[in-house]
Structure 1
Amino acid sequence: MPSSAGPSIDTITEGGRVTQVGEGQDADETTPPVMTFGAPTAGEILAERYELVEHINNDSAGRLVWRGVDVVLRRPVAVVMRYPGGDSATEMLQAAVAASRVVHPNLVGVYDAIDEAERAYVVREWVDGQSLRDLVSGGPLDAARATAVGNSVASALAAVHATGMVHGNVHPGTVMISDDGRVVLADARTDGDDSQESDVRAVGGILYFAMTGYWPHAEVPLRGATAGHGRAAIPDAVRDANGAVAAPRQVRAGVPAYLDDLTMDLLDAEIAPPPSDVLTAELARLDVPDDDYLDNSGPLRFTGETGEEPSPLAVAGGRKVALGIAGLLAVALIGLLIGISTLGDDNEDPQTSPVAAPTSSAPVSEEPAAPAVRNLKISNARIIDPDSRNRSEVRDAEKVFDGDQDNGWSTETYPSSNFGNFKRGMGVWIDLGAERTVKSVQVSLSDRGASAELLTGTIDAPSSTSGDEQVLTAYLKNKIGQPFETHDGTTMTFNGFDADQKYRYLLFWITELPPNNNGFKVGVQEITVQGS
């Protein structure tokens, strides 16, 4: 039964109504719900726990967003409802269950997911604030604030990706800014149409939108967004005659070159994006309160570099911080030494004192800047096929690191996923040219459903059946991270590297093939190695 008096909850209003977005795209207030049977009413208590206080809006998928309260814990909640429930609400509920497993300060907390057949609803954290879309409607953000937002979103994605999941719905309507400045990501999807790579590229879109007010991914429509649905529509980016997106600096003055470069690198389909945890670390270096640091930290690029020098960002930004700390330490040391001298024997001649204060405040030492994480150059690759006698599939290994996602190496077609019981597997062996510190390896595949693992070793045997057997036998003893079993995406990211160990040779070993037309096969389109 409805309660007689609902609790008082502080809310934020906009134009006379409360704003609370993040579960899909909110649409015109006149958007009708899916159907009227089972419609909720104010004061109703769901599952004997969640009281509905006020209908906030409908998203353009027909779901209702309500402000409510958990009458047990006495905390405000948002209730996202769809009716009917059942099969029509499966995706929404599955996404909520998956999201509830990841707890992170930059992710909206999911508390409950309930299907009552005639209607289904998700109960999640209530955020007093507004979406990034609404915030930027008042004007683009400056570089420092845009960087902070991008860093928070990347951090949330890193937490999601660490579990093997994909968010799949990163856009200005699902990035929420609370009144206390907290940035949270909401409304994950589980329909399997996205990848961790597309999540990372969406961070580039968030940075672009925050700095310009335009969305660069118009060729991939926002989920549930319909042109003309009021605030659901977001202006497309400025484009040239060929459809290429104009850089943020071409749209708005004052965008730092390094942030412009980073954003365009993330949006460039020809440049492999870094894993989300690597992107988070890079953005964290930029997310500092002193604007002077931001203006002078230099460019940040994720493109592969052939030299061994750390990125200009690490040199400029890291060195400036190191110099500042070293300077403070030097001043403290001078003060300490002078104090010791002063407190010594009053009769002692200060000119002959064994402790003399330095005459310069220059730093006494400088810590070297940490090497930047970047794409490492692959110097060589070959196919490892120890169970074959005709060696027909060992060609074209160089295509896995040519920078072309559409041009890779592929197995032949087999009658079953286990290579027709003829082979233990096949793999791509890569040589980094020298021992390196490796952060992650990302492998782009042609199809979903493959099983594979990443191995490492120290031998480089000849390219032959016996040589391949030597490599496989030695490398199977050294696995990197967890294997992927019938992976539901086309990108595999391996992060289980030892930070104190150097690596030169790696082996991407395929153990099970996905279905493809009339048989089973897979292509390795591109392998990207991140490290220093």
Structure 2
Amino acid sequence: MTQVGEGQEADEVAPAMTTPGAPTLGEILAERYELAEHINNDGAGRQVWRGVDVILRRPVAVVLRYPGGDPAMEMLQAAVAASRVIHPNLVGVYDAIDEGERAYVVREWVDGDSLREMVVDGPLDPARSTSIAHAIAGAVAAVHATGMLHGNVHPGTVLAGDDGRIVLADARADSADTPETDVRAIGGILYFALTGHWPHAEAPLANGSQPTGRPPLPDAVRDASGAIAAPRQVRAGVPAYLDDLTMDLLDGKLALPSSDVLAAELGRLDAAVEEEYLDVAGPLRFTSAPDGLGDQPRATRRKITAGIAGLLAIAAAGLFFGISALADSGDPTDAGTDTPATIATPGTSSDGGGETSPARNPEKITLEAGQVRVVDPDGTRTELDGVAAVVDGDANTGWDTESYDGRGDFGGLKRGMGILIDLRQPREVTSVQVVLSTPGASAELLAGPGDPGSSAAGDNQIIDTYSTRIGEPFAKHDGTTMTFSAFQPDQQHQYLLVWITELPGSGNGKFKIGVQEITVEAR
């Protein structure tokens, strides 16, 4: 039973048991927590005990170090921060106490094994590995949503309870940690579960020794140049999509998704792990090729942003458009006549003659850079550049807002920001699809009478006059693709505004969004 994390090591070894403040078996701390069994020591100068809360009569884990005071400050601060995050895949923190001679954190006791113990008899199967990574990504996303970091995602901090829960314990971030280090560590968890090897270096203690009571984790299998071998090269039976996902997360040259995007993708894979299509359609919602995988090099596949969810949305929209086209072509009951209706198709006419009638099916409008601009009525107008990338046909590129502190409503500084689309002539629009960089944004689509010009006054006039809302707004949308298709038949629009009212969190208390691509279809 490993009840404490081992990812980050401090520069000191655990103090000797004769040091003042050393705990003893049966001792009751704070007149409440009885020490029942010494479990282990870790490399951060701490001991882990199984204890009992004598008031509530429940088992607890007591993580204790001595002396207290300044040397224990990081541990106590991390515990206080972790206690504010409630999530089913995070270990609950109950108490944090500094007595001077010693300090201790009291948290949930988990009956079960750590991930490092689970793979002693061999690596886990792909389904179990995916499920564990999904749980840990969800826990990390919950931590990041508060603006905090975990900093200690490691096989020793991932605990599998006998009740089936997977929980993450022992947050211990320092100044070197970032949201990306947490996300990359989730890739390490996947790699370890699939192979039994840890792809990240384990730091020794300052004296060069390993932490007390445990050997280092086995290093990843590497080639002569030091490059990590992919899971499929280490063992058989790892699906291609899971192999790609793992190596993407470990590749320092690739941009990482945010923790919430990764959690959503792992949730999709976890729920559909038995589906055969994953082996073909793979790998990630945020790294799927638009034209199928084909024979593209693996590195190329990783960099292309679209996804299975997006394709499904497009398919659903296509069904809607097809129904609309049939309805527009005529219905004998609507005409009030017994004459059968004829559907116009390319190469035929609705009156039975040989002349070709224009098709009523929606078609994509090719937008140019001069047809889009940023609307920023409340800002300093420093975020106007780069918007042409939203209509360049490449979802890898896009326009980004700046990062805002503290709140998703642009830090309380703005009513919102948007992108104005000028179709150059009135069109019968059927859909507007917006691809975003991450889930969690709120946005709506508005229509208005014109473009008064790119200025603060002009942008304020747009906000005052664009009163036609197309369909319902998206509130904290759980995907990266928003499709607005509730256009009135036969109604034409030239000017449309994608108006963003709330930004998703990007870690460290920051909020921002990227608009990757905008697609307009019309008849």
Shared fold, TM over 0.5? yes
Report what 1:76 is aligned to: 59
- Alpha carbons 1:455, 1:475 under 8 Å: kept: no
Select 1:464's aligned residue among 454, 463, 467: 454
Report what 1:450 is aligned to: none
Structure 1: which 5+ runs fail to align?
A: 1-11, 13-18, 316-377, 412-422, 444-452, 483-493, 511-521
Report what 1:146 is aligned to: 129
Select 1:436's aligned residue among 433, 436, 441: 433
2:111 is aligned with 1:128: yes
Mean CA deviation greater in 95-104 or 469-478: 469-478
Aligned partner letter, 1:505: V
- Give the deviation of 1:157 after TM superposition: 2.4
User: What pairs up with 1:84-483 in 2 under 5 angstroms?
Assistant: 84-191=67-174, 193-218=176-201, 228-229=210-211, 231=214, 233-240=216-223, 243-287=226-270, 298-301=281-284, 302-303=286-287, 305-306=289-290, 311=308, 394-396=384-386, 429=419, 435-436=432-433, 441=438, 458=446, 461=451, 464-465=454-455, 467-470=458-461
Aligned partner letter, 2:432: E
- Alpha carbons 2:67, 2:103 under 8 Å: kept: yes
Superimposed CA distance per residue, residues 145-189 of structure 1 (whole angstroms, 9 cap, x where no aligned partner): 111211221222233344443323212121012234431110123
Report what 1:505 is aligned to: 498
Report what 1:527 is aligned to: 514
Mean CA deviation greater in 394-403 or 30-39: 394-403
**TM-score, with length taken from structure 1:** 0.60
- How many residue pairs get aligned? The number is 407
Shift in alpha-carbon separation, 1:473–1:33, aligned structure 2, 3 A = farther
C-alpha separation in 1, matches of 2:288 and 2:7: 36
Shift in alpha-carbon separation, 1:75–1:166, aligned structure 2, 3 A = same
- Alpha carbons 1:168, 1:198 under 8 Å: kept: yes
- Alpha carbons 2:14, 2:46 under 8 Å: kept: no
Mean CA deviation greater in 32-41 or 260-269: 32-41
Alignment partner of 1:206: what SS? helix
C-alpha separation in 1, matches of 2:93 and 2:130: 26
Report what 1:357 is aligned to: none
Alignment partner of 1:58: what SS? strand
- Alpha carbons 1:81, 1:122 under 8 Å: kept: yes
- Alpha carbons 2:36, 2:52 under 8 Å: kept: yes
C-alpha separation in 2, matches of 1:30 and 1:70: 28
Superimposed CA distance per residue, residues 333-392 of structure 1 (whole angstroms, 9 cap, x where no aligned partner): xxxxxxxxxxxxxxxxxxxxxxxxxxxxxxxxxxxxxxxxxxxxx996756666999x89
Superimposed CA distance per residue, residues 423-443 of structure 1 (whole angstroms, 9 cap, x where no aligned partner): 989978598x96237687379
Mean CA deviation greater in 396-405 or 265-274: 396-405
- Alpha carbons 1:383, 1:429 under 8 Å: kept: yes
Report what 2:426 is aligned to: none
- Alpha carbons 1:151, 1:287 under 8 Å: kept: yes
C-alpha separation in 2, matches of 1:179 and 1:530: 46
C-alpha separation in 1, matches of 2:139 and 2:382: 44
- Alpha carbons 1:131, 1:177 under 8 Å: kept: yes
**TM-score, with length taken from structure 2:** 0.61
Aligned partner letter, 1:91: E
C-alpha separation in 2, matches of 1:311 and 1:476: 34
Alignment partner of 1:261: what SS? helix
Alignment partner of 2:19: what SS? coil
C-alpha separation in 2, matches of 1:235 and 1:99: 29
Shift in alpha-carbon separation, 1:454–1:78, aligned structure 2, 3 A = same
Select 1:46's aligned residue among 15, 29, 54: 29
C-alpha separation in 1, matches of 2:203 and 2:16: 22
Report what 1:58 is aligned to: 41
Mean CA deviation greater in 224-233 or 135-144: 224-233
Shift in alpha-carbon separation, 1:133–1:392, aligned structure 2, 3 A = closer
Shift in alpha-carbon separation, 1:93–1:507, aligned structure 2, 3 A = same
Identity among equivalent pairs (%): 54
- Alpha carbons 1:25, 1:225 under 8 Å: kept: no
- Give the deviation of 1:265 after TM superposition: 2.6
Alignment partner of 2:78: what SS? helix
- Alpha carbons 1:169, 1:187 under 8 Å: kept: yes
- Alpha carbons 1:248, 1:255 under 8 Å: kept: yes
Report what 1:489 is aligned to: none
C-alpha separation in 1, matches of 2:276 and 2:444: 39
Shift in alpha-carbon separation, 1:285–1:78, aligned structure 2, 3 A = same
Aligned partner letter, 2:57: R
C-alpha separation in 2, matches of 1:470 and 1:393: 19
C-alpha separation in 1, matches of 2:115 and 2:181: 19
- Alpha carbons 1:286, 1:294 under 8 Å: kept: no
- Give the deviation of 1:255 after TM superposition: 0.9
Superimposed CA distance per residue, residues 482-508 of structure 1 (whole angstroms, 9 cap, x where no aligned partner): 9xxxxxxxxxxx768899973973559
Aligned partner letter, 1:435: V
- Give the deviation of 1:280 after TM superposition: 3.2
- Alpha carbons 1:399, 1:409 under 8 Å: kept: no
Alignment partner of 1:38: what SS? coil
Structure 2: which 5+ runs fail to align?
A: 293-305, 313-366, 403-412, 424-430, 486-496, 504-509
Alignment partner of 1:287: what SS? helix
- Alpha carbons 1:26, 1:58 under 8 Å: kept: no
